[in-house]
Structure 1
Amino acid sequence: MSFNIGLSGLYAANKQLDVTGNNIANVATTGFKSSRAEFADIYAAAKLGTGHNAIGNGVNLSAVSQQFTQGDVNGSGGTLDMAIQGGGFFVQKGSDGSLQYTRNGAFSADKDGYITNNTGTSRLQGYAADADGKIIKGGLTDLRLNLSNLPPKASSKVDSTSNLNASAPAINQATKPFDPTDTSSFTTQYSTTLYDTQGNSHAMVQYMVKTDANKWMSYTLIDGRNPDGTAISGIAGVAPRGSLLTFDTSGTLSTITIPPSATSNTTLTITDWKPGALENGAWKYNGAAANPAGVAINMANITQYNSASYRNPPITDGYATGQITGLKIDGSGVMFATFSNQQSKAIGQLSLASFNNEQGLQPAGGTAWKETFASGQPGYDVPQAGTLGSIVANALENSNVNLTTELVNLIKAQSNYQANAKTISTESTINKTLLQMT
């Protein structure tokens, strides 16, 4: 029996060496999870159990369990490199349609724009985004980088905060009518860039003229002309169209009076803007159009205080055509494409998987696992939902192998092997002695 016990010990020590050696070999493998050899003693037993003086029959390998503890997350600089800080697995689909789960976030884009693992054999799974950048949280799909240009958007609103100097001298428009070429005919001016439906930019300038106490005239010109394209000079009967701004005694804008008699609370809406430009000295429409609803200029945040006139940078919703310039991934796994027109749009959101029993996953090679009956079915959701971790962009998760611990395990496995070999050697010596006695 001692031979069998010793042999089982040699087998167990050899398996421990295999597991430890595999851990050491993968100490630099991204997303690798270390394993641990687990052993159980062997006892011969009948239906009624073992006797009080039963002697064991040795040891066997009961399990090789993986340790799904967090590895160190370090920056890598890769655009599509991702690490999971916390629980969960990346979901990737192979060419055969089967799903695999990994902690290795070294991804890249193939020639068709699909995000794949570092071997190019599996595609990263997640949720797609519609044309407006809204995430469609339905079934999982192959995540893909859309490298097409971002279409332009016609301007529909302008918001800003500004102040008009209450102590500025009033200008008598009877003797000094407004003329954009004459700086003495207006008090201050503000410029904003508008965009038409084709992404062409147009300069909108608002000229402010103080005409009396708490009263200002505002003249809005686009490309140096009235919004409808008519010139403000050189054409008989055509004059700049001004709006009267009235402030109360506290310096707050009360109303806007738009010719001939329409009154607005605080919004000036331009509905007759016809995009165009000067060509060879003549005004020509450029074939584009303005926003059908017009451009609403919010003037509610204009004040009239006794301080210098100023305006903070305006906030507009229009932009020109944009070319993709980069990709950003936030903690919840949303991928944002950034464009040359300073816009960004979500193009997808990756999904993470979780399991009730991670130890039941079957290693599939390539730092990936497959679902089994023991692991249970996966639960899919976005990062930072429930127990799922967050995404760290431009970073990778290192192996969780503790090299010092593995080297100590090598020494222990070697000692175990030597001790079990000594058991066999001793049993052999005893058998020789018994044979010599006979």
Structure 2
Amino acid sequence: MGFNTGLSGLRAAAVDLDVTGNNIANASTVGFKGSRVQFGDLYASGFLSGGSNTVGDGVNVQDIKQSFSQGNISFTDSGLDMAIEGDGFFILNNGGETRYSRAGQFTIDKDGFVVNNQSMRVQGYTADGDGNLSGIRGDLEVATDNLAPRRTTNLRSDLNLDSRQSVLESRVRDVGPLAFGSVSGEQFSVTYSDGTPAYPVDLSGLTTARQAADKLTAAPGLSASATTTAQVPLTDADIAAAGGAFTFDLSVNGAPLQLDTSNVSTLDDLRAAINRSSDTAISAAIVDDGSGNDVLRVTHNQGENLDITYTGGSVSETGDINVTGDRTIANVNPVGASGTNFVTEYGQSPIRITNEFSAQDQRTYNHATSTSIFDSLGNSHELTQFFVKEPSPGNGVGVSEWSVYLQIDGEMAAGTDTTPFTARFDQNGTLQSIDGNPNGEILISDWVPKDKNGQPNGADGPPAPGAAVVTPIPEPPTSSAFVLNLGETTQYGAAFGVDDQRQNGYTTGRLSGLDVSGEGTLFARYTNGQSKALGQVALAAFNNTNGLSPVGDTSWVETFESGQAIIGQPGTGTLGGIKASSVEESNVDLSAELVNLIIAQRNYQANAKTIETSDAVTQTIINLR
């Protein structure tokens, strides 16, 4: 009868209206997936063949299918909101029950777990204390405690040292005093490391130390001075014993010096008489002869010969020579067998730096740069690197050298107060080595962290005496030792510049914000400028997504038809990526649903008309007489 056919149509149309209404109601629900009704016709059938009634018995609702097509992604102002761009579901822990959802509106509960609006905990891959992600899946948790400090164990400085800089230090050799008689008549040559032609020096035929000093000063890079000192073994008793007959005659290079000794009765009177002389190059003083006796010392500060005759004795001196040689001199070589004394004295004389490096004097270094490092308590300290250009070794072709000094909080470090590190560069400006280390590493193992008053602050100090320190510093570190890596430092003809400078230490920090990457990794930002991975969101996919069973709260559960979940990291396999600070809107097309609503209404009215017509026909039959 048409009653059953119309009734099935009414039921089907009512279901269609319900599904369409549900879609419309959830048009603004985040992560919602719209549904559609699938109908099937009804025909009577027998056991082995079709029934004889081929007219049909109406309509049947076969299934209600959800559409898992991608919804629009809209941005939000919440850092923990996430949208899946592509395939996959968020995995939620609902008190032990596992649910799956596309709604990524997440927040943090009172216990620090990442949850959705229904307090279901978001599942993901956890991270260790250093931010290293693991393959262990669990509830994502945001630790709100302070980030513990980390001491500096490695500092990398990528610099360019200006090859056009000049050598600042002045290094000299002090030779002398040399007795005039020991070098008189010698011949030798002075050679230079800066390309200056060799200079011959001939001290033959000279009669005074002053003449020898003038010859030496004429050589480039040499500066000489001469003095003549005569010690006269006179005492007050000697002068008193001579009475008024005391005599004292002084000649400079054979020329008598006019002295008034008529009123001399003591050694001090004689000293004053000599100092009153018209020859200002002459001076006299009373000194101890080493035995407790005061004697007279006469000096000629230009190196002329002194001849002294006095009552009871005489003294004759030819003078001494003092020589200073600058750093451009490569060597002093004798000519033949001559010049041995001067050559030997020059070669054995130590080098003296006249303007030695000083961190307080900018004139003594070419470049400097500072950066912060941290001790085991998270206290900040300032490390300053100073670079001083040195003369090129050898002939100066194809190699350059710089001295490296280190200072921490105003105190020299790594022994550079006495011996700086030497950085050597090749002809291309590339670092060859630092103190022979081709890696360009400098180990600082003598640092004692101190407070602002210069006292140890309680942080870890240097390694114990005799303890071996290896690089890189192994974890966990147990001392204040750290490595300065200058391996990428260059020496080009360009201005000094710091290309990159980074170190791995930091002070303690408080949580200041959260970020989410495109791979679903949660990063915590701290007030000390650090960030650390807290975990990574896990996504699940299914072989038959339509087999999932909706359980409300915009979530689904796994069923036999869906198959087991395939879980992985976002962006791997068929899983989609993550859009941070975004949500996926409902995929309901509101315009289409309104049209479907009209269609369902017409269908319902039409089926009702079928019942009405069947009723009229039946009434007609009943009214037959």
TM-score by length of 1: 0.91
The residue that corresponds to 1:206 in the other structure is 385
Query: What's the CA shift for 1:150?
Result: 1.6
The residue that corresponds to 1:119 in the other structure is 118
Give 2:622's match in structure 1, choosing from 431, 435, 438: 435
Give 1:187's match in structure 2, choosing from 366, 372, 377: 366
The residue that corresponds to 1:251 in the other structure is 429
Mapping 1:273-352, distance limit 5 Å: 273-279=447-453, 283-289=454-460, 292=479, 294-352=481-539
Alpha-carbon distance in 2 for matches of 1:437, 1:366: 59
Alpha-carbon distance in 1 for matches of 2:559, 2:498: 63
Give 2:127's match in structure 1, choosing from 126, 129, 132: 129
Gaps of 5+ in 2: 172-352, 393-399, 462-476
Q: Secondary structure at the match of 1:203?
A: strand
Does structure 1 residue 388 correspond to structure 2 residue 559? no
Q: Secondary structure at the match of 1:380?
A: strand
Alpha-carbon distance in 1 for matches of 2:491, 2:132: 41
Q: Secondary structure at the match of 2:54?
A: coil
Query: How many correspondences in the alignment?
Result: 419
The residue that corresponds to 2:413 in the other structure is 227
Q: Once the two structures are superposed, what CA deviation does each residue of 1:7-59 show, in whole Å capped at 9, x if it has no partner?
A: 11111111111110111011011111111111111111111222476110111
The residue that corresponds to 1:17 in the other structure is 17
User: Runs (4+) of structure 1 moved beyond 6 Å?
Assistant: none
The residue that corresponds to 1:412 in the other structure is 599
CA contact (8 A) 1:117 1:123 kept: yes
Query: Given residue 312 of structure 1, which amino acid in structure 2 is its aligned partner?
Result: D
Alpha-carbon distance in 2 for matches of 1:71, 1:305: 56
Query: What's the CA shift for 1:372?
Result: 1.7
Q: Secondary structure at the match of 2:412?
A: coil
The residue that corresponds to 1:27 in the other structure is 27
Change (3 A) 1:254 1:332: closer
Does structure 1 residue 218 correspond to structure 2 residue 404? yes
Alpha-carbon distance in 2 for matches of 1:325, 1:241: 45
Change (3 A) 1:19 1:223: same
Using the aligned pairs only, state the percent identity: 42
CA contact (8 A) 1:223 1:277 kept: no
The residue that corresponds to 2:323 in the other structure is none
Alpha-carbon distance in 2 for matches of 1:164, 1:76: 48
Q: CA RMSD in A?
A: 1.8
CA contact (8 A) 1:24 1:401 kept: yes
Alpha-carbon distance in 2 for matches of 1:43, 1:8: 12
Query: What's the CA shift for 1:277?
Result: 3.3
Does structure 1 residue 272 correspond to structure 2 residue 446? yes
TM-score by length of 2: 0.65
CA contact (8 A) 2:159 2:500 kept: no
Query: What's the CA shift for 1:373?
Result: 1.8
Query: What's the CA shift for 1:288?
Result: 0.4
Does structure 1 residue 105 correspond to structure 2 residue 121? no
CA contact (8 A) 1:219 1:240 kept: no
Q: Once the two structures are superposed, what CA deviation does each residue of 1:52-79 show, in whole Å capped at 9, x if it has no partner?
A: 7611011111111111111111001112
CA contact (8 A) 1:162 1:302 kept: yes
Alpha-carbon distance in 1 for matches of 2:50, 2:430: 95
Query: What's the CA shift for 1:357?
Result: 1.7
Gaps of 5+ in 1: 233-238, 258-262
The residue that corresponds to 1:236 in the other structure is none
The residue that corresponds to 2:227 in the other structure is none
Q: Once the two structures are superposed, what CA deviation does each residue of 1:382-423 show, in whole Å capped at 9, x if it has no partner?
A: 211211111111111111101111111111111111111111
Query: Given residue 124 of structure 1, which amino acid in structure 2 is its aligned partner?
Result: V
The residue that corresponds to 2:564 in the other structure is 377
Alpha-carbon distance in 1 for matches of 2:384, 2:491: 19
CA contact (8 A) 1:220 1:241 kept: no
The residue that corresponds to 1:242 in the other structure is 420
Q: Secondary structure at the match of 2:561?
A: coil
Query: Given residue 130 of structure 1, which amino acid in structure 2 is its aligned partner?
Result: D
Alpha-carbon distance in 1 for matches of 2:496, 2:84: 51
Look at both structures and tell me which one has the larger radius of gyration over its CA atoms: 2
Change (3 A) 1:220 1:419: same
